[in-house]
Structure 1
Amino acid sequence: MTRASARSVPEATPLWLKLSSYLILTDEEKAYLSELERNILRQPPRSDLLQQGEKYRDVRVMREGWAIRHKALPDGRRQVVNFVLPGDIIGMYSTLFESADHSVTTLTAVEVACFPPDRIVELFRGFPRLAAALAWSGAREEAIVAERLLSLGRRTALERTAHLIVELLRRLTTVNMADNGHFTLPVTQEILADALGLSIVHINRTLRRLRDSGLIELNGQRITVNDVRQLASVGQFDELYLHLIRAPKRLERAFSGEERRPHAGGAGEGRRKM
């Protein structure tokens, strides 16, 4: 395998920014990510990037635009399980599973980078720090889905909606797509209803309540969060599940070679003394 040249570090992409929130990437790692994203595909709104049950063809990195991950019952009823934002990966587990267990559909025009699944294996072999950052990204997405389940099962309509808005603000801030509480929300009330398990009428009423309270402002697809702390309080939002942290020191030590496994003899001696 030939690693990408680190001489010229390209402009930051959403994936780079997202992974950099966990690990401080080297120039070589940044160059590799740039090379990984060199093949660009553009798709219009309401395009299926992945269909439930189909075989994985490639891995895609969202660079621009929004999409939804959703699952459907045979009769067509749908549940939105997550939003795909810039920096998110579609098909990251394609090396482990043959077929997709969910669908991904664009909400806006999107730009995605595409690469074959075997590049993930290559990355794990040649860039273990990047592999750890990708594992963190995957674990965080699972945590987001688990948090959504908690919302559907226990939070009220007002709490669910407030919680989702704060979550999206936090995620978009990581990739420089939110500014001082302002961000674009290209999501219809129908999509919000599918994501939050509410009726469109209930969503409309709940958004109006948040707006009338002064917590948010809505101007078309533009949303402004006026008081993040208060909105988070309304939604009982605890950002622990987003894992907005730097990599643990023990992980950095492992990559630097500072940590060593105990000698087999020493371990054996310890067992014999028991």
Structure 2
Amino acid sequence: MRDRRDRPRNVKQVPCEKCPLRPLPIFREFERSELDFVSTFKRGELFVERGATVLLEGSHSAHLYTVLSGWGFRYKLLPDGRRQILNYLVPGDLIGLQSSLLGVMEHSVEALSAMVLCVFERERLSELYENFPGLAFDVTWIASREEQMLDENLLSVGRRSAVERAAYVLAFLGARVRSLGPEAAGPITIPITQQHIADTLGLSLVHTNRTLKKLADRRLISWRDGACEVRDPDALAAIARWSGLGESRRPLI
């Protein structure tokens, strides 16, 4: 397992006041006092290469992270090395909260592409809860939203057919990209392989390949340069019988 992270930078190359994510309509606005706190809460940025481990199951971390750019995924491993991908991470997502509450990480996080992460001091999380009820609610909302996503994933694995499962995960990822801005309205490129999808769906690679081919034959997806291009997220959602993300604005720490 590769771990090729750089150390967090003490100098903030992206000040919170000029964060490129904050103007996006999907994120709620901060009050001035909240923004001032987050600016001191943030330590710097961490630059992560594709394939690097951000957090490792069973480990402790002194930091929390927010994805500033790039893709990642959360996963668990069985003792024999079989992997189950639990969820995917896009800009604005918070990483490592679970370790704050349970003491150690119950899953691992890997960079799906090159990533830039905002780094926060874990020990100051209690200060956030004590002094900033709005931000405390945001953290609770993030944890609740993650549980809701896992519920939908469990429904897929338990009740959807193979084609419906594949259509759901690609529609879900497409919708998450679209939620970040209107410029994502065209075909959406997601840096995943068929193995990633197989490990998400709980299917063999051969079965996954045959399933994805059915979607590709309908011109709903295509494969290009080692990535999946989602061409029609709405049609994929219809196949999966999925009603969408169902959110207008969400928090950004």
TM-score under structure 2 length normalisation: 0.82
- C-alpha separation between the residues in 2 aligned to 1:105 and 1:203? 21
Select 2:18's aligned residue among 7, 11, 31. 11
1:255 aligned partner? none
Identity %: 34
Select 2:31's aligned residue among 26, 30, 35. 26
Higher relative contact order (CA 8 A, sep 6+): 2
Gaps of 5+ in 1: 1-7, 248-274
CA offsets 1:215-263 (integer angstroms, 9 cap, x no match): 334433251423x432211011123xx451458xxxxxxxxxxxxxxxx
Gaps of 5+ in 2: 1-14
- C-alpha separation between the residues in 2 aligned to 1:79 and 1:120? 29
Select 2:124's aligned residue among 119, 125, 129. 119
The one-letter code sitting in structure 1 at the alignment partner of 2:204 is: S
- C-alpha separation between the residues in 1 aligned to 2:160 and 2:228? 25
CA offsets 1:10-57 (integer angstroms, 9 cap, x no match): 23444x468x73644334434544444451111212211111111232
Select 1:153's aligned residue among 158, 164, 170. 158
Deviation, 1:167, is: 0.9
CA RMSD of aligned residues (A): 2.5
> CA 1:219–1:65 in structure 2 vs 1: closer, same or farther (change >3 Å)?
same
1:45·1:106 contact (CA, 8 Å) conserved in 2?
yes
SS in 2 for 1:231: helix
2:54·2:109 contact (CA, 8 Å) conserved in 1?
yes
Deviation, 1:131, is: 1.8
Matching of residue 51 in structure 1 with residue 56 in structure 2? yes
Deviation, 1:162, is: 0.9
Deviation, 1:65, is: 1.4
> CA 1:232–1:107 in structure 2 vs 1: closer, same or farther (change >3 Å)?
same
1:5 aligned partner? none
- C-alpha separation between the residues in 2 aligned to 1:190 and 1:145? 20
Select 2:146's aligned residue among 127, 141, 160. 141
| Residues 99-118 of structure 1: pairs in structure 2 closer than 5 A | 99-118=104-123
TM-score under structure 1 length normalisation: 0.76
2:98·2:105 contact (CA, 8 Å) conserved in 1?
no
Of structures 1 and 2, the larger Rg is shown by 1
The one-letter code sitting in structure 1 at the alignment partner of 2:73 is: I
Deviation, 1:204, is: 2.0
1:232 aligned partner? 237
**What is the count of residue pairs matched by the alignment?**
235
Deviation, 1:71, is: 0.7
1:270 aligned partner? none
The one-letter code sitting in structure 1 at the alignment partner of 2:170 is: I
